[in-house]
Amino acid sequence: MCAYVKNLVEEHNMQRRGDEDPGMADVKLVATLTMQLAYRNKDKLSAGMIIGGWDRKLGAQVYGIPLGGSMQRVPFTVGGSGSAYIYGWCDNTWRENMSRDDAEAWVARAISLAIARDASSGGVVRLVTIHDKGSSRQMLEPKHQSLCESELPVIPRR
């Protein structure tokens, strides 16, 4: 799906070649193309998708594309097998206009909570922050994640 959307975006940018600076595609365009593919193939696909990014036109954006192919711009969204465990926590703790550090800590905590309750969520938090200068990546190993209630601490190997 990602490769197909990437090809559609590249085609779109080639058609805009006459523009002085076609630049990167708008986040909403990528979300719309993804939504159209999901909707046209709703009988064959069983996956929700999250499109997030930053562009010069609208700044930071997140779009949720649930099963069936609808699309909604949202302040945040979650997905995957651990998401059912954290929806309430996310709704309760989300704040508009968080600083970047607060937002990254919020996401890392949400993923840690999902990992603690869902064995399929893995044990490592891979965090990508998309911003006006590009993106940055972090990997938080279990020993760097805060413990969840009733969770046993990681014991270092000798």
Residue 157 lies in a domain: no
Quick one: 11 and 42 in the same domain?
yes
Residue 155 lies in a domain: no
The CA-atom distances, in angstroms, between 94 and each of 74, 80, 90, 142, 146 are 12, 19, 6, 23, 18
Q: How many domains does the chain have?
A: 2
Instruction: Give the tokens for residue 70.
Output: 């609808």
Quick one: 2 and 69 in the same domain?
yes
Quick one: 15 and 35 in the same domain?
yes
Please state whether the predicted TM-score (pTM) of the whole model is above 0.85: no
Quick one: 83 and 70 in the same domain?
no
CATH of the domain at 32: 3.60.20.10
Quick one: 88 and 138 in the same domain?
yes
Quick one: 71 and 1 in the same domain?
yes
pLDDT tens digit at each of 158 positions of the chain: 889 898 888 888 777 765 555 567 899 999 999 999 999 998 998 889 999 999 989 999 999 999 888 999 999 999 988 899 999 999 999 999 999 999 999 999 999 888 888 877 778 889 999 988 889 999 988 777 766 666 555 666 67
Q: Residue 47 sits in which domain range? A: 1-76
